[in-house]
Amino acid sequence: RTGAAALAEALRRDVSARPLAFQGQEIAASVSIGIAACRSGEDLDTALAAADLALYRAKRNGRNQVVIAEAAG
Per-residue model confidence as pLDDT tens digits over 21-73: 999 999 999 999 999 998 888 889 999 999 999 999 999 999 999 999 987 65
Residue type, 5: A
pTM comes to: 0.83
What is the model's pLDDT at position 23? 96
Spatial separation of the C-alpha atoms in residues 64 and 70, rounded to whole Å = 19
Selected residue with higher pLDDT from 36 and 1: 36
Spatial separation of the C-alpha atoms in residues 22 and 10, rounded to whole Å = 24
Examine the pLDDT at 7 and tell me if it is beyond 80. Answer: yes
* Residue in 39, 30, 38 with CA at minimum distance from that of residue 58: 30
Confidence band for 1, pLDDT divided at 50, 70 and 90: low
